[in-house]
Amino acid sequence: MTAEAPVQAVIVPGLCVRGAREDVTACLADVGGRPFLDYLVEDCVRFGFLDLLLLASDRPEPFEGYASKTRTRLRRGVTLQVTPRRLEESIGALQSSFLLLDGDRHFDFNWLDLMLGVGAGGVIAARERAAAGNAGVYLVERTALGALRGEELDTIATSRRYDGAMAELRSGRGLAQLPERRRRPAVFFDRDGTINVDVGYAHRAEQLELVAGAISAVKRVNDAGYYAFLVTNQSGVARGYYTEDDVHAFHAHLQRWLRAKGAHFDDIRYCPYHPDGSVPAYARRSDWRKPEPGMINDLMQHWPVVASASLAIGDQDSDVAAARAAGLQALRYRGDDLDALLSRHLTAPRR
């Protein structure tokens, strides 16, 4: 595996470098019944950023209130902290490289494409051609902050991606569109035998071997603007071969492999139950266990999925049956290049 992608995301209201004041109103404004900041935090989490830092130097109190409510519903392993400092004053809280986000704008593209520049050093900027000031998404090396002496971030950026090729929504121009824009198709991937080689109850990092085209297939889904979900039967828990903690650790390792190549799963569901299990707590039937559609249905309840344009892909009859039971198009993977198969069926949604 190549160098791991950063896991820290830093959100700055108004993205002030020096002198500018934060726009608390825009950052916490109601958008579709939720604070706008919710959308940024949600995207940070689905792109795999685990350490979220809000820099609120002027008015930290509203952000502390927001954070205290939000922490209870964050995904496993994710932290959210607020610090009353500016970017250049926060060196001690910053990791060696991190994602930097404007707190009152939303940029709709695969943020993890910036991860492909890990190792380039300095600052890698993704911004719309017409964006003003520091508006954009940045991958920043901590050592580059010494170059900020009142200059805008773009003056020290080493390269740019997505210049003019991404959608920017900002306060006063388009944020109301954000809830509708988040409605998009999804691809539901099986795991063992579809994403990774099925070695029989894989649960240790050293057992992870990806099938041909797996990373490219997931990234294709990410780049096309679909949600990418993983749905997997894990009866090894019920049989006592490993624990749920082992499942989480294996999935975290899988996500690290993907993120290093600019890809990710937005969310994951697994079923640890089996009626023939030897662990009493898990020895039962479950409508989450494929061929039942419970895992797919749960994801579609939690995310604004356009089911009519979505599909599922797996190597077993149970994968196909679960997809059809959920009303989705089903693709059968038969061991060739996963990306080649998917490319014949994926059409980018209208964004």
**Is 190 tagged catalytic?**
yes
The residue behind tokens 């693709």 is 331
Length of the chain: 351
Q: What is the sign of the dihedral through the CA atoms of 125, 130, 131 and 137?
A: negative
Q: Locate 109 and state its tokens.
A: 């593209």
In DSSP terms, which residues pair with 231 in a beta bridge? 269
Catalytic residue among 104, 113, 192, 339: 192
* Helix, strand, coil percentages in the chain from 3-state DSSP, rounded to 5: 35, 20, 45
Q: What φ, ψ does residue 327 adopt, rounded to 5°?
A: 80, 25
Sequence letter at residue 336: D
Q: In the chain, which residue ranges form alpha helices assigned H by DSSP? A: 24-27, 36-46, 60-70, 178-181, 214-224, 244-259, 294-302, 317-325, 338-343
Q: How many CB atoms sit inside 10 A of residue 72's CB?
A: 6
**Is 267 tagged catalytic?**
no
DSSP code per residue over 213-265: THHHHHHHHHHHT-EEEEEEE-TTTTTTSS-HHHHHHHHHHHHHHHHTTT---
Cα dihedral: 334, 338, 341, 347 (round 10): 140
In DSSP terms, which residues pair with 108 in a beta bridge? 167
Catalytic residue among 190, 266, 315, 339: 190
CB 140 within 8 A of CB 134: no
Pairing of strands 329-332, 311-314: parallel
How far are the Cα atoms of 117, 213, 270 from residue 192, in angstroms, in the given order? 30, 14, 12
Q: In 128-198, which residue ranges form alpha helices assigned H by DSSP? A: 178-181
Kindly list the catalytic residues. 190, 192
